[in-house]
Amino acid sequence: MTDTDELVARDAAAFFHQQGSSPCVSALQAAQGIWLEDASGRRFIDLHGNTVHHLGHGHREIVAALKRQLDDLAFTPRRFTNEPAVALAEALRARWPGAPARVLFATGGSDAIEIALKLARVATGRHETISLEGSYHGHGFGAFGLSSAMPDPRLGAFLPGRHHVTPYWAGEEGPARMLEEVGELLATGRIAALIAEPMRSNCHVPPADLWPRIRALCDAAGARLIFDEIPSGLGKTGRFFAFEHFGATPDMVVLGKALGGGMVPIAAVIADARLNIAPELELGHYTHEKNPLTTRAALTLLEIIARDDLVARAGAAGRQLKDGVAAIAARVPAVSGARGLGLLLAVAFDAQRCGQPPGPGFAAHLVASAFAHGLSTTAKGDGAIGLSLPLTVTDAEIDEVLARVEAMGRAL
């Protein structure tokens, strides 16, 4: 048994088993840039990274900033503030393209989603929600219930008043059906908020007019529009906020994952300052709400993104990857092409040309094949894998990724 096998076996014996994480596929001993290294010394290019690796793994400046902050101030009890927390809030407000905004922090995206839901309820006096069937917004009982109309019945009841509509990516009629269903639900006058990812992290790009039309419908009905940018924000799509591609500014946006520099957990809600109407409520009462360590990591991340013009780099690198995959598709029948924006991409494969039936089994086959070619990734639907790389990726690293994708396609 290798060191990796032994550690994976110990993990499987110690943790509750759950889909997607336990048992694990391998064990890591190092992560740097785009590379993962397992306990046996095998290296993989990380095309997934749980979308936290905007600056790559182990960015030296983030590490240095965290070490300095540990020496200066590692924790602030609630009712006290600190410089990095305030500076981070100010930096996020400065990035906001809408009306003046305010901020709340949380330790994870699911918690931040639920803060946004509370703000919408307070602002509207309503409690019902609209979300897209098959979306993902976290695993709290409020957030997880937004993802599917029919979660596993063993989990029991979720929040009442949840409505799920046809998502825009559900075939050619998806956008029209989504608009129709949203309009009907908003007309009831019971909806506090519509919550969605502006571009689902399965990398299907919505029609250009979809979100402006949804924005208008929400305005007419007095409902709030919440965008979940936990996977897509902070420059990943070639704009700082993904919604900036689509001509609709929400009332609230939720950030997370990469906000902690790929090292510490922090999430944020940025919302219209006019929602600051319930100071007597505990809307986001978290022990680490203004943690100086996590906020320092996030503040340093924002400084590096701005200094190195990494939002523009994401757009350019994404075009380079999509062009490269298109060239591969012209040579390799198994590869269909790439979809998405910036560096939030997916590579699609043709199941029939791979001699496989389409469906979840084909998706699992693709992920396993990628792993065999030194690419760590996840499925993006039944016929695609994620192609998510850091904003710091180099041209030489892009060439290496494309070479491995081509080798994988030829082997399918």
Out of 261, 281, 307, pick the residue that ends a domain.
Answer: 307
Shared-domain flag, residues 302 and 322: no
DSSP letter string over 88-156?
HHHHHHHH--SS-EEEEEESSHHHHHHHHHHHHHHHHS--EEEEETT----SSHHHHTTT-SS--GGG-
Could you tell me the CATH number of the domain that includes residue 70? 3.40.640.10
Residue 73, pLDDT score:
97
Shared-domain flag, residues 52 and 137: no
Shared-domain flag, residues 15 and 104: no
Listed residue (398, 397, 399, 408) closest to 329, CA to CA: 408
Residue 335, pLDDT score:
97
Shared-domain flag, residues 50 and 98: no
According to DSSP, the β-strands at 162-165 and 101-106 are unpaired
Separation CA 240–CA 346 (nearest Å): 20
Separation CA 26–CA 377 (nearest Å): 13
pLDDT band at 156 (very low <50, low <70, confident <90, very high): confident
- Decide if pLDDT at 2 tops 80: no
Residue 203, pLDDT score:
95
pLDDT band at 388 (very low <50, low <70, confident <90, very high): very high
Return all residues near 357 (Cβ < 8 A) that are at least 6 apart.
351
Residue 231, pLDDT score:
95
Q: What spatial distance separates the first Cα and last Cα of the chain, rounded to whole Å?
A: 29
Taking each helix axis from N to C end, the angle separating 174-186 and 210-221, rounded to the nearest 10 degrees, works out to 10
Out of 281, 307, 333, pick the residue that ends a domain.
Answer: 307
Peptide bond into 160 cis (omega under 30): no
- Average pLDDT of the residues in 181-207: 97
pTM for the whole structure: 0.96
Separation CA 318–CA 268 (nearest Å): 26
- Decide if pLDDT at 149 tops 90: no
Shared-domain flag, residues 262 and 325: no
Shared-domain flag, residues 164 and 226: yes
As for how many domains the chain has, the answer is: 2
Mind listing the pLDDT tens digit for each residue in 220-243? 999 999 999 999 999 999 999 999
Shared-domain flag, residues 55 and 105: no
User: What is the domain range of residue 50?
Assistant: 3-59+309-411
Mind listing the pLDDT tens digit for each residue in 351-377? 999 888 888 899 999 999 999 999 999
Out of 287, 307, 327, pick the residue that ends a domain.
Answer: 307
SS3 185: helix
Shared-domain flag, residues 255 and 320: no
- Average pLDDT of the residues in 384-403: 97
Q: pLDDT above 90 covers what percent of the chain? A: 86
Could you tell me the CATH number of the domain that includes residue 394? 3.90.1150.10
Token digits for 287? Answer: 């022990």
pLDDT band at 158 (very low <50, low <70, confident <90, very high): confident
Residue 25, pLDDT score:
87
CA 136 distance to own-chain centroid: 9
Do 389 and 34 contact (CB within 8 A), yes or no? yes
Residue 379, pLDDT score:
95
Mind listing the pLDDT tens digit for each residue in 70-126? 999 999 998 899 999 999 999 999 999 988 999 999 999 999 999 999 999 999 999
Shared-domain flag, residues 220 and 80: yes
- Decide if pLDDT at 50 tops 80: yes
In this predicted structure, which of 6-10, 210-214, 307-311, 375-379 has the lowest mean pLDDT? 6-10
CA 366 distance to own-chain centroid: 21
- Average pLDDT of the residues in 156-175: 94
pLDDT band at 1 (very low <50, low <70, confident <90, very high): low
- Supply the residues annotated as catalytic: 136
What mean pLDDT, rounded, does the chain reach? Answer: 95
Listed residue (229, 231, 254) closest to 50, CA to CA: 231
Shared-domain flag, residues 42 and 159: no
Residue 255, pLDDT score:
98
- Decide if pLDDT at 159 tops 70: yes
Shared-domain flag, residues 45 and 153: no
Shared-domain flag, residues 67 and 45: no
